[in-house]
Amino acid sequence: GALLEMRDVTKVYPNGVMANYKVRFSLREGEIHAIVGENGAGKSTLMKMMFGMEEPSEGEILLRGEKVKLASPQDAIDRGIGMVHQHFMLVPSFTVAENMVLGMEPKKGLGIHFAEAVRMTEEMSRKYNLAVDPKAKVENLTVGMKQKVEILKALLRGAKILILDEPTAVLTPQETEELFRELRLLKDQGHTIVFISHKLKEVKAICDRITIMRAGRSEDAFRTADVTEQE
Ligand code: ADP
Ligand code: ADP
């Protein structure tokens, strides 16, 4: 069965725009699955519904076969879904460690101490082989580093499914290579990845399966290996 499934999901915005129409998306455990489509195809809308930022007008979302309602990003996080936003949701004037624990439930009414945040960041950084400096200020980091922080932040919150929104749009070719290596490592560690992109060519290098969206509709997913053979 699927880990995450969008079953005939339709989204009509209040202004009447139908951004998704009966979209079907099925995510298998342990895969890297790309959602590809041109601007306006409905990728962001689908992604927002997977992360509780928008609710479907019609259709169902299933997690491990069970129907779920994702009413907020916190709902999605609680269910092991993490998001790496295209424009990072980090506080620039704060350190990496502070950003890592930002918004996390302090235990028994106590805030998480800076030293503890640094320790947690170092531990996550080691575990996932994502080198970040806990004490660096986010505003001084390259985009590639900021992205690593966002990935670690999602993992610290227990993400098993990681959704990346156009993750390479802001990266240099070298940073892209590095990201791809990291994603393969995460996959080896049992994570499942949704990779949103508007470049089909790019995702072929990293994704196991691809779902193409066109004008708010989804096409059946295909294996990357199959297209590569055809060419
Ligand atoms: P993509 O991510 O593939 O570019 P989007 O999901 O952002 O596609 O957009 C799909 C369609 O929905 C577009 O026509 C877009 O203008 C429209 N749209 C996206 N977000 C909203 C919104 N909040 N309100 C109204 N229309 C929206
Ligand atoms: P992206 O494709 O990266 O989401 P966009 O420029 O399409 O970038 O959209 C930026 C933001 O504006 C998104 O949050 C999107 O949902 C929203 N948006 C897009 N189109 C519309 C629209 N027609 N009306 C209202 N909000 C929209």
Contact call for residues 135 and 95 (beta carbons, < 8 A): yes
Q: Is pLDDT of 44 > 50?
A: yes
Burial status of residue 171 (CB atoms within 10 A of its CB: 0-12, 13-18, 19 or more): middle
Q: Is pLDDT of 203 > 70?
A: yes
Q: Is pLDDT of 185 > 80?
A: yes
Q: Looking at the DSSP assignment, which residues form a beta bridge with residue 9?
A: 23
How large is the average pLDDT for residues 20-43? 97
Q: For position 228, what pLDDT does the model report?
A: 61
**pLDDT classification of 109: cutoffs 50, 70, 90:** very low
Ligand 1: which residues within 6 Å by Cβ?
13, 15, 17, 19, 37, 39-45
Q: Closest Cα to atom 20, ligand 1: which residue?
A: 45
Q: Is pLDDT of 179 > 60?
A: yes
Q: For position 87, what pLDDT does the model report?
A: 83
Q: Is pLDDT of 143 > 60?
A: yes
Q: Is pLDDT of 10 > 80?
A: yes
How large is the average pLDDT for residues 192-208? 93
Atom of ligand 2 nearest to the CA of 17: 23
**pLDDT classification of 108: cutoffs 50, 70, 90:** very low
Q: Closest Cα to atom 16, ligand 1: which residue?
A: 40
Q: For position 111, what pLDDT does the model report?
A: 64
How large is the average pLDDT for residues 165-175? 93
Give the distance (Å) from ligand 2 centre to CA of residue 171.
21
Q: For position 177, what pLDDT does the model report?
A: 93
Give the distance (Å) from ligand 2 centre to CA of residue 226.
33
Handedness of CA 81, 196, 44, 95 (dihedral sign): positive
Q: Which of 52-66, 88-102, 112-126 has the highest mean pLDDT?
A: 52-66
Q: Is pLDDT of 132 > 90?
A: yes
Q: Is pLDDT of 168 > 70?
A: yes
Q: Closest Cα to atom 5, ligand 1: which residue?
A: 42
Give the distance (Å) from ligand 1 centre to CA of residue 203.
22
Atom of ligand 1 nearest to the CA of 15: 25
Atom of ligand 2 nearest to the CA of 44: 4
**pLDDT classification of 106: cutoffs 50, 70, 90:** low
More confident: 31 or 86: 31
Ligand 2: which residues within 6 Å by Cβ?
17, 44, 86
pLDDT digits (tens, 9 = 90+) for 210-230: 999 999 999 999 999 887 654
pTM to 2 decimal places: 0.89
Q: Is pLDDT of 1 > 60?
A: yes
Q: Closest Cα to atom 12, ligand 2: which residue?
A: 44
